[in-house]
């Protein structure tokens, strides 16, 4: 294992310290916690909290700041943060108008964030939540009851963050989150596995020319292994699977995110986006009204890519996606 680290057990703590120091004009680390909170003046608006296991950077701390998350809570690598840590994130985000939790659908995250919600309500903080389950690849995979939450979570952060910044109430954000979640779909693939520094070896094995469709962001199994194909064929597989779920019509408006899994160069991600454009815009005649390419929800050093599509049901969703932010990772 070749990694630029010190002691594997200290990776998350040292990462959070380095992040908070490097971007101390935007965020701060709450002492004695794994919480990164934004440095903006309190304004009696709804606070937005997300988080999960580390190893998905820039998710989630990279989206803390004006216009997106109020706070992010980090667990150990690929491990949910504990309820007491999530509670500290809720308390840091609370401005008096309630706190909304964005939770990826993994058993540990759902359980621990729910426990933290109950603890916060005992302290008279109103809390609502959404469980993002955008991954169409498999159901009831490792660590999951139902579909996994993956890179679509980033669109959820952006839209809800803009809504909160505009002054939406807790109940309005809950209604918006549920509607967005119904229109949010993702699928990914891996070319090579991730190596958890706390484990010291890859989480699974792929042959040199082998890929896996539907892989999870913790290395959970996908739905099919094949020999590596040209980018346009990989894009065709993604679009075929997404179309089965979304049943779109010519002229429908979508937001599209091509997301790198950690070790895939931007050059390759842009090639892939070009192939997605040919399929969705030129062939399917969809309006990709919002596009984004880059590393947003990674799996440490996994090589691979995912594609997220969000059907834009309301003009305001597009406004929220385009709203300015002051964060590290967007």
Q: Is 218 a catalytic residue?
A: yes
- Per-residue confidence (pLDDT) for residue 138, from 0 to 100: 87
Average model confidence (pLDDT) across the chain: 96
CATH label of the domain that carries residue 305: 3.30.1180.20
The reported pLDDT for the residue numbered 111 is: 98
Question: 106 and 70, same structural domain?
Answer: yes
- Please state the pTM of the whole predicted model: 0.97
Lowest mean pLDDT among 107-116, 169-178, 200-209: 200-209
Q: Quick check: 140 pLDDT over 90?
A: no
Nearest to 216 by CA among 293, 300, 275: 300
Residue 100: alpha-carbon gap to chain centroid: 16
Taking CA atoms, 84 is separated from 32, 53, 112, 204, in Å, by: 11, 15, 9, 32
For residues 305 and 246, membership in a common domain is answered with: yes
- DSSP run (H or E) holding 317: helix 315-322
pLDDT tens-digit series, residues 275-319 = 999 999 999 999 999 999 999 999 999 999 999 999 999 999 999
Give 11-57 pLDDT, tens digit per residue.
999 999 999 999 999 999 999 999 999 998 889 999 999 999 999 99
Residues 255 and 159 in one domain: no
Residues 171 and 63 occupy one common structural domain: yes
The verdict on whether 56 is a catalytic residue reads yes
Average pLDDT over residues 127-156: 90
Long-range interactions of 223-232: CB distance < 8 A, separation 24+: 223/137, 223/138, 228/191, 231/268, 231/271, 231/272, 231/275, 232/275, 232/278
Which ranges of 94-169 would DSSP assign to H, the alpha helix?
A: 107-122, 152-165
In a domain, 330, yes or no: no
Shared-domain flag, residues 176 and 191: no
Helix (H, G, I), strand (E, B) or coil at 159: helix
Residue with tokens 């304004």: 43
Burial code of 120-158, b = ≥16 C-beta within 10 A, e = fewer?
beeeebbbbbbbbbbbbbbeebebbeebbbbbbbbbbbb
| Nearest Cα residue to 126 out of 94, 162, 166 | 94
Are the beta carbons of 281 and 249 closer than 8 angstroms? no
Who contacts 11 (Cβ-Cβ below 8 Å, separation ≥6)?
5, 54, 77, 197, 198
Q: What's the average model confidence in pLDDT over 199-207?
A: 90
Residue span of the structural domain in which 163 resides: 9-182
Q: Using 50, 70 and 90 to split pLDDT, how confident is the model at 156?
A: very high
Domain count, the chain: 2
Check which CATH number belongs to the domain holding 51 and give it.
3.40.50.10440
Give pLDDT, residue 144.
66
Contact call for residues 15 and 204 (beta carbons, < 8 A): no
Residue 78 φ then ψ, to 5°: 55, 30
Same domain, 121 and 201: no
Task: Categorize the per-residue pLDDT at 142 as very low, low, confident or very high, splitting at 50, 70 and 90.
Answer: low
Q: What is the mean pLDDT of residues 145-159?
A: 95
Largest Cα separation within the chain, whole Å, is 55
Q: Per the residue annotation, which of 10, 56, 60, 157 is the catalytic one?
A: 56
Q: What confidence tier does 141 reach under pLDDT thresholds 50, 70, 90? A: low
Range with the poorest average pLDDT among 186-190, 198-202, 210-214, 265-269: 198-202
Asked if residue 107 belongs to a domain, the reply is yes
- Residues forming beta bridges with residue 200, ordered by sequence position: none
- The answer on pLDDT for 143 being more than 80 is no
Clarify whether residues 155 and 256 are in a common domain: no
* 3 inside domain: no
Extract the runs of DSSP E, i.e. beta strands, from the chain: 27-29, 35-38, 47-54, 71-77, 99-104, 127-132, 184-192, 210-213, 224-227, 253-260, 287-294, 303-311
Per-residue pLDDT at 139: 82
Reported as a single tens digit per residue, the pLDDT across 256-272 is: 999 999 999 999 999 99
The predicted pLDDT at position 145 comes to: 75
How far, CA to CA in Å, does 260 sit from each of 82, 136, 330? 27, 17, 14
Cβ neighbours of residue 109 under 8 Å, at least 6 residues apart?
A: 51, 52, 80, 103, 149
As a whole number, mean pLDDT of residues 118-136 equals 98
Span 76-92, pLDDT tens digits: 999 999 999 999 999 99
């Amino acid at each position: 294992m070749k990694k630029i680290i010190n002691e594997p057990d200290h990776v998350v703590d040292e990462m959070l310290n380095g992040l908070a120091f490097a971007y101390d004009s935007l965020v701060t680390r709450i002492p004695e916690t794994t919480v990164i909170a934004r440095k903006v003046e309190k304004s009696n608006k709804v606070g937005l909290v997300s988080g999960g296991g580390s190893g998905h950077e820039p998710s989630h701390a990279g989206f803390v700041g004006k216009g997106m998350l109020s706070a992010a809570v980090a667990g150990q690598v690929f491990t949910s943060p504990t309820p007491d840590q999530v509670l500290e994130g809720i308390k840091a985000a609370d401005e008096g108008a309630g706190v909304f939790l964005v939770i990826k659908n993994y058993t540990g995250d759902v359980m621990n964030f729910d426990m933290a919600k109950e603890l916060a309500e005992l302290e008279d903080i109103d809390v609502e939540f959404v469980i993002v389950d955008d991954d169409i690849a498999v159901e009831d995979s490792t660590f999951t009851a139902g579909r996994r939450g993956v890179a679509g979570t980033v669109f959820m952060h952006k839209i809800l963050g803009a809504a909160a910044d505009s002054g939406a109430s807790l109940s309005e954000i809950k209604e918006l989150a549920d509607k967005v979640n119904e229109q949010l779909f993702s699928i990914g693939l891996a070319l090579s596995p991730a190596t958890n520094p706390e484990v010291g070896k890859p989480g699974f094995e792929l042959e040199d020319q082998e890929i896996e469709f539907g892989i999870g962001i913790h290395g959970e199994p996908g739905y099919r292994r094949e020999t590596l194909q040209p980018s346009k064929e990989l894009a065709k597989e993604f679009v075929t699977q997404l179309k089965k779920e979304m049943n779109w019509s010519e002229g429908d408006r979508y937001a599209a995110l091509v997301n790198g899994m950690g070790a895939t160069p931007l050059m390759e991600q842009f090639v892939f986006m070009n192939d997605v454009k040919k399929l969705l815009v030129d062939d399917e005649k969809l309006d990709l009204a919002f596009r984004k390419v880059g590393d947003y929800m990674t799996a440490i050093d996994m090589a691979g890519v995912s594609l997220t599509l969000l059907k834009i049901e309301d003009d305001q969703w597009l406004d929220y996606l385009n709203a300015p932010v002051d964060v590290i990772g967007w």
